Structures are given as C-alpha cells and as structure tokens.
Amino acid sequence: MKSFMKPRYFDTFQFEAVAKRLAEDLGDIQILAYRAARKNTQLKAQHEYSLEMFNIMVFSAVELKYYVHVKTRGQFLVNNLLELNVLLLLFHTSQGKLDLSVDNYADRIFDFWRSLCCWEEEFQALHRDVVHMKTPPLI
C-alpha cells in the first residue's frame, strides 16, 4: 500500500483503481490468517496495522476526491492535511511502529513539521473563508 505514497503526495488515482481489490485481498488474508494471528503477535500487529492503513487511505482518497478542485484557502489546507495524514504512514513499519530507517527520516519529518507550522498560521487566518467552504456530504 505504501507504493501509492510518493515523497510529496498520495496517488489517489492509482489507489482508487485498485482499492476494491485491495479490500477483497485484506478480507481474504483476515480469513486465512485468523488462527495464526491469534497465536503470533507480530502477525496480528501487521494485519491490524494494514487494515488501519487501508482505512486511512480510503477515507483520505474519498475526501481528497471531494476537494479535488481547490477554490479556497480552507480547501487547500484541508487537502494538505488529508494528504499529510497518509504520507506519515510511510514512517511506520509494517507493524505500525516508527521506522527510523526511512531515508532522510529526520529531514523529512522536519519538512512536514515546518509545513504544519505554516498551515497553522493559515488556519488562524481562515475565519473569513470558513463561510465559503463547502463541507462534504455525510455518508
């Protein structure tokens, strides 16, 4: 699933093209590995994290699709946060633990942090744009 996460963006188009198949595969794995995962904590952690990662990616893909045409600063910020939420998954192992072996780990985390600081200032200046921002329909 990490193959859909590029260094600076989440490839929602490619992800959406295979999301249904991935969901089926994860369901099959859950059925096949049920007994083994109960006895093997590493396998269980890996399976649970893959489901969590998939759910985050599905949620973000749906929301990013809604905000595909960014018209306001608020939509731009929401888009960035949704994408960052997915990209931060790159810094975890297959079992959901922090992976300090990721190339340029510290620099990349620092870049994300710096972006968050800038976005925080933008969010604080948003009060006049909030009225114009559409919210996605509840599913």
Residues 120, 53, 58, 12: what is their CA dihedral angle, to the nearest 10 degrees? 70
pLDDT tens-digit profile of 65-111?
A: 887 777 888 888 889 999 999 999 999 999 999 999 999 999 999 99
The pLDDT score that the predictor gives to residue 137 is 62
Check pLDDT > 60 for residue 124.
yes
Domain positions in the chain:
2-132
Q: pLDDT tens digits, residue range 20-52?
A: 999 999 988 888 877 777 788 888 888 889 999
Torsions phi, psi for 84 (to 5 deg) = -60, -40
Output the pLDDT for position 91: 94
What separation, in Å, do the N-terminal and C-terminal C-alpha atoms of the chain show?
24
Residue 10 pLDDT > 70: yes
Asked if 57 contacts 1 with a C-beta cutoff of 8 angstroms, the reply is yes
pLDDT > 90? residue 8: no
What is the pLDDT averaged over residues 10-17? 93
Which of 67-71, 110-114, 130-134 has the least mean pLDDT?
A: 130-134
State the pLDDT at residue 133. Answer: 58
